[in-house]
Amino acid sequence: MDKGIIQGDRSAKSFVLDLLFPNRCPFCGGFIKYDVLCCDECFPEILWSDEYICRICGKPKDPQCGCEEVRTYDMCITAAYYDGIVTEGIYSLKFRNNLNSAAIFGRALRDTLRESGLLDKADLAVPVPMSPREQRVRGYNQAEELCRFITEGTDIPMRTDILFRRYSRKAQHTLEASQRREGAERTYYVKSSDLILSGKTVLLADDVLTTGSTLNACAALLKDLGAKAVICAAAATA
């Protein structure tokens, strides 16, 4: 991956903000210059996605990817393996208000989507939603922040008014795979049943691909609205 990807915001505003909220590496937590996104030690340690990750289901091919399982999305592009320091980067994004990894992985996803010709095919981008209550607590939706960088510099509109999420008391990661699937199907919803996405190709963005139940539930809803294809973009794959 080209090192240019960790170039941050060089504006005066960013410089001043850094005095108040010092910039930190999302992977090791160390202090870094205001205009970079991670430290020089961590950058080479990022386990970027490679040819050993399936681009259809988005899962590692070893020992077997997830293409045999039922899938409602058409492709899944991932930026990195959910392993090593990447796990920390995702944790910082979700729980430490550190959006630097949204920029790093969002841009990496955008570049991969562009190189594979998929970016040109996308009509709109939709982040996996959070419930309003959770989003109020966190202050932002990490999938939306990621989506912002995936679409940065493109004319693909990001839509946060299509998919919605109900508040669920149980965290997804505490559930078994079958419960996750059922839970995800109940958790996400759309407000309209009109075929508003008729013939459209949708980019669906999320932070981590684990069982795929979230992406499957969201992609099924997008297809119910008429979407022709759903291409997922996930920062990391487990």
Footprint on this chain of Zn ion (rule: CB under 5 A): 25, 27-28, 39, 42, 54, 56-57, 65, 67
To the nearest whole angstrom, how small is the minimum distance from the Cβ of residue 177 to Zn ion?
Answer: 17
Beta carbon nearer to Zn ion, 88 or 144? 88
Q: Where are the alpha helices (DSSP H) in the chain?
A: 12-20, 85-95, 100-115, 118-121, 132-138, 142-150, 177-187, 213-224
To the nearest whole angstrom, how small is the minimum distance from the Cβ of residue 19 to Zn ion?
Answer: 21
To the nearest whole angstrom, how small is the minimum distance from the Cβ of residue 174 to Zn ion?
Answer: 26
Beta carbon nearer to Zn ion, 67 or 196? 67
For residue 210, how many other CB atoms are within 10 A of its CB? 18
To the nearest whole angstrom, how small is the minimum distance from the Cβ of residue 43 to Zn ion?
Answer: 8
Beta carbon nearer to Zn ion, 64 or 198? 64
Beta carbon nearer to Zn ion, 54 or 130? 54
Beta bridge partners of 36: 7
| 236: Cβ contacts below 8 Å, ≥ 6 apart | 78, 79, 80, 81, 82, 86, 87, 90, 105, 207, 208, 209
